[in-house]
Amino acid sequence: MISESKPIFVKIDKYKEILEIVEVINKKVTGVKQLLTEFEELRTKEEEELSNWEKNLEDITRKVESIKEELSSEQ
């Protein structure tokens, strides 16, 4: 097992290239985080729209019911 107390030194041939890739990865991770925030906002907006939709449907049902009552009430 690798001892935690003793560091080991290994040769990395393309050290700079690795650092560059790590940099690109960091940028991409930031980009993905932004996309996820955007996704979350869209989801909230969708939920709001669906909630409004439901509310409007209830309004329509109520109004149609009152129209029906008005037309079928005792003359």
Provide the 8-state DSSP code for 13: T
Q: Is the dihedral of CA 32, 37, 43, 46 positive or negative?
A: negative
CA angle 38, 44, 49 (to 5 degrees): 125
Q: How far is the CB of 73 from another protein (least distance, A)?
A: 7
CA 67 to CA 62: how far, in whole Å?
9
Site residues (CB under 8 A) for another protein? Answer: 1-3, 8, 10-14, 17-18, 21-22, 24-25, 28-29, 31-32, 35-36, 38-39, 42-43, 45-46, 49-50, 52-53, 56-57, 59-60, 63-64, 66-67, 70-71, 73, 75
Q: How far is the CB of 18 from another protein (least distance, A)?
A: 5
Q: How far is the CB of 69 from another protein (least distance, A)?
A: 10
